[in-house]
Structures are given as structure tokens and as C-alpha cells.
Structure 1
């Protein structure tokens, strides 16, 4: 897990929805609990400021960091993926969103950027230049930001014989790899005292949320009816929610004591 991934989870838990900026020294102290060095924290804060995710504020000799609107949007997306969308898609209506594109070899960089953004949005490649995702997905803004509107065709459709929906899912997505990631999560977090090597529940909360958000952001949210009955995301989501509730209670006083902030 990268320092930036942990940082986003920390901000989502303790800054999102509050009009505050947090003291960099507080962040360094908290991240020391998960073995992230002071240098790595300062570098992450600097990069996120440069990328327009954080605003820097000074009070006396101390430096504080607050969220920008862009960071709010990113964090709200993560919150929605965790608590509203869920890990299992039980509401599929049988439609697929298809994105077709063709970019010449000289535009390899743009092609790579488009594929990366499509994967992030839950699409998988059926064949060269054709990507699909279950349900109706809005990709207009993503394509516009890449300045590729004229190079992309988007439409929704349903599969037809001889194509089967389950075959599309396994062709476009590595379902074995997705299942393995959920199984790894279950292995790491099951038991009476998961992650016992971490010093306290604040550290465990940050790592738990980071682990889970990385999982659901890599998950294309495939329809449950196309997956095995024992799909591990179901058990993994139940475990995450149980632990998240436990740590929310026990980590809150630790965070309150550790985080120094100013009102904006």
C-alpha cells in the first residue's frame, strides 16, 4: 500500500466533511504507527499539494493541510464505493456499456491513458479496441478530459447468442485474480486479533480502509449472477464492515488525541 493510498484514507476518515486543515506533524506521528517515514509523509503531502489535492496553510511556524474541491470529489467517490455501491453487484439489468476506440501507433501514450482510465472505471477488454463494463456507465467526462471524444464510440447493448454473459465476464475480466485478492484480504484480516503487529486500532483502521478501498477500486463490480455462488467478495465485505465498525469506536479517541488542526 502506497503512502498516498494511506493518506487518502486518513483524509477520508478524519478530514472529509470537516472544514479543517491538519498539522503536518500530526500526520507524521500517525503514519509512524504504520511504518511510513517522515520523509515519505512530507513527500506525499508535497506531491498531493502540487497535484491540486491539498491546500497548504500556515499558522505561526506550523504548516497545515486542507482538502481542495478535487480531493473532496476523490474522497466522496471512495466513500461511495465503500459504503453505498458495495462489493457485489446484485442489481444488474442485463445491459453492458461498450467503448470502442482506434488510435494510431503514434498516439500510444493517449491510448495507454485511455486504457488506464477505462480500467479504473470498471471496464475490461473483450478484444482489441473494444472494452465493456456491466450496466450503464457514464464515460463522457473521462473521455473529454483526455481530449479523445472524437476517437471514441460509446453505446449500451445486451449480449445475444451465441455470446453468453458469463463468457463475456471471464473474457474481459480476470475473475480468478479478483477472487484471489479477496481471499488474500480474508487471510490478512480474519481471526480474533487481525494485524496484531500494528501498535493500535488507529493504525489498524488506516490499513484496513486502505486495503479495502484498493480492493473495491480494482473490482469491476461484476453481476453476482455471473459469478460463483461462493464468490469471496461477499464474505470479505461482511468482515470489512464488522472490523470498520469496531475500529471506528476504538480509533476515534486515539485520532482525537493525535490530530492537531485549525478551522478554515
Structure 2
């Protein structure tokens, strides 16, 4: 469940840096199958350290509309990304999240839990970074830009990026990890700055548009399900589907403070719909996952811990 580009600051530095070694599939790019498998496993077994046999994962993936071959390929590629580690028990493969992936997922859970809630306090200060990476280190420059976006930054100019949140420590860790030495990070209030407003680093109209499909697709489902219960398999599918769609948003939306946004910014309506749909599906979806575990992986039965969104 990690797409989370701008985690709540203050986590321990070593797990955060180690977690950067994990190449999670990026939302909106790459394999949608891998995204779905990560979302599903992260929802129910993100902190489970035991092994999950591939037959269980493939069976649950079928409820999401994934073929057994597609699910197996996704598992193999996620292992290659260091998201999952793989082992064999006889002729059967089994998987679990790597320790580094679990560290990233823990950050992701915190970020998704608060994203769009409007409850994160803002101190009115901005974080600004200016950097220079030589042309011969183009790959490092792209990795740094990706990390900046992950942290909620946007480019005001080519090598000057800004964020409304205090992520200076996280960013400094990333620069050290990537071997970037030529940079400066500072915090500033917008008052007193001259020239282009920092908020113009983002195209808010483009950010706004990303929520249109989500709101249109899930508002009617939320209204239709009011007070109703779905069969377990359908609840499992819909719950995974809606979270997989939601977790892509923080890649394009930095989660700016509500004070900086129009009052009708659609993030808040999308969040309301998400909570109203996602949480009520929990019990039926978990029952479906547990029944599958009891049949296919008794050792994993009883260990699912579905994610609960705060209202």
C-alpha cells in the first residue's frame, strides 16, 4: 500500500534509508497487476513475517480478475524488485514482504491514513532545496527527482524544488544515500519572498482532474451500499480496487495544507467517499481472505490485519 510520496516526518532514519532500496511499482506506470498484488498483500499481511504460499496469493488474485499466470508473473517480478522475498517449500513457492518493504509500507500506512483528512497542522513554512547533479550522473539526478516527488516536492524551477512540509531531514538522508553533495536545503516563510509564488510549482487544475474519475466511479457505489452487505468475494475485490485507485493520488497530489487550497478542492470529497466505502467492507472482505487462508495456507490463517482508515 505504498505509494506514499510524502510521509509524516520523524521516522527513524535507518529504516527510512534502507527502505529506499526497495523498488515498489509506481502507481500509474508499470504493471497494474503488480500494483494490485501489492495493495492486496499490504492490506491484509503487511506486517506478517511468515510465508504466504503462492497458491493462496494466486487464489485471492483471481477475485481481483487476475489470471494465475499474471499473478505468478507479478510475484516473480516483485521479488526481483526486493518488494517480496521468495522461498520454496518442496515444489511450491512462497512469499513475504522483505524487511525493507515492510519499513516502506509502515510509512505508507501512516501517510494514507492521513492523506486528504486535512488534520495535519501546517506551520506556514516551506522547505526549499536547490541542487546540482552533473550531466554524467543523469541516473542519479532522475532518482533524486523521483525521491523529491515522493517527499511532496515540486519543481519551481529546474533544480529548485519546494514543499509545504518540513521534510528537510528526510531529504538530506536521501541526498547522502544517493551520493548527491552539491545541494542546499532551507526553510522559509512565503512572506518577504519576491517573484513567483511558491504555490505555482504545482498545477492545481491538473491535480484536481485526477479525482474526477474516482469520485464519479465510487460515489454511486458508496450510495448504493449504504446499509447493505456484499458477498465476501465482491467485498474483497471492491475494497482492494478502491484502495489501489486511491494510493496512486499522492504521486501527483503533494497533500498541500488546506489553507492553500480552494474550499471546493475535490481531494476532500474523494476522501469522504473512500472512507465511507472502504471501512464498511472490512469484515466481509477479511472473512473471505481468512476462509481462503484456512483452505490453502492454514499456517497463515488468523494473521490477517486489514487496514482501517481514520474518518
Instruction: Indicate how the Cα distance of structure 1 residues 233 and 193 shifts in structure 2: closer, same or farther if over 3 A, else same.
Output: same
Moved over 4 A (4+): 162-165
Task: Indicate the residue corresponding to 1:98 in structure 2.
Answer: 128
Match of 1:100, SS state, is: strand
Normalization by structure 2: what TM-score?
A: 0.76
Residues paired across the two proteins, number: 258
Counterpart-to-counterpart distance in 2, 1:163 and 1:185: 38
Unaligned runs of 5+ in 1: none
Q: Is the 8 A contact 1:78 1:213 kept in 2?
A: no
1:31-180 correspondence runs (5 A): 31-88=61-118, 90-137=120-167, 138-148=170-180, 150-161=181-192, 163=194, 167-169=197-199, 171-180=200-209
Task: Indicate the residue corresponding to 1:187 in structure 2.
Answer: 216
Task: Indicate the residue corresponding to 2:307 in structure 1.
Answer: none
CA RMSD, Structure 1 to Structure 2 (Å): 2.3
For residues 175-210 of structure 1, the C-alpha deviation after alignment (integer angstroms, 9 at most, x for no partner) is: 11111112221111111348x9xx611111111111
Q: Is the 8 A contact 1:54 1:68 kept in 2?
A: yes
More strand by share: 1
The Cα shift of 1:34 comes to 2.4
Task: Indicate the residue corresponding to 2:234 in structure 1.
Answer: 200
Task: Indicate the residue corresponding to 1:246 in structure 2.
Answer: 280
Counterpart among 247, 266, 271 of residue 237 in structure 1:
271
Counterpart-to-counterpart distance in 2, 1:80 and 1:154: 25
Counterpart-to-counterpart distance in 1, 2:42 and 2:210: 23
Unaligned runs of 5+ in 2: 1-27, 304-311
The Cα shift of 1:73 comes to 1.2
The Cα shift of 1:226 comes to 1.1
